[in-house]
Amino acid sequence: MALLNYCITFAFANSTWQNRGQAPSEIMNNTKIRHKGIVDSVDGNVIRVSIMQTAACSQCKAARHCSASESKQKTVDVFHRPPTMPHVGDEVTVVASQQTGFNAVWLGFGVPFVLLVAVVWLMIHFTHHEPLSALVGIGSLIPYYILLYFLRDKLRQVFSFYIEE
């Protein structure tokens, strides 16, 4: 696991000029995920920010002729109140830690994959019935996602964004 973290950190360190010369552990703790966006609404403690998520090739001059480029409009809820409150239409930078992104990917894709493979393997091992094993494996994901749904308020606090000043 430590080797995997080192490899991921090394890859991000080599792709980001500002992190040159830092140890991998320092990079993992300091690297932030940043997106520029426009404030859609400010409602009490919730600031809604629209960000444009673009593929790497969408910045290419030939992107309009290529089917590989894509961009999507996403809305992010920010529950952290910055010192100066932004107004609707202001351009802001929404920030989350890289570790938050890794944890979200792990909960959204890693755990379900491990759960699915484990349940299918156990079912095949004990029943020798592949179609039933596949159905039970897929069915095992239903309680997992229901659990995530009920824990969404707690997860919202853990996976939080904030607005950079």
- Sign of the C-alpha dihedral computed for residues 137, 139, 140 and 145 taken in this order: positive
* Contact between residue 130 and residue 121 where contact means Cβ atoms under 8 Å apart: no
Q: In this structure, what DSSP letter does residue 134 have?
A: H
What are 164's strand-pairing partners? 93
CB atoms within 10 A of CB 140: 17
b/e map 86-112, b = 16+ CB within 10 Å? beeeeebebbbbbebeeeeeebeeeeb
What is the predicted pLDDT for the residue at 124? Answer: 95
Residue whose C-alpha is closest to residue 8's, from 113, 102, 104, 80 = 102
pLDDT in tens, 105-124: 999 999 999 999 999 999 99
Distance CA 83, CA 163 (A): 10
Distance CA 162, CA 92 (A): 10
pLDDT in tens, 45-98: 788 888 876 665 555 665 565 555 566 788 888 887 777 788 888 888 888 888
Q: Is the pTM of this model over 0.75?
A: no
What is the predicted pLDDT for the residue at 7? Answer: 35
- Three-state secondary-structure class, residue 22: coil
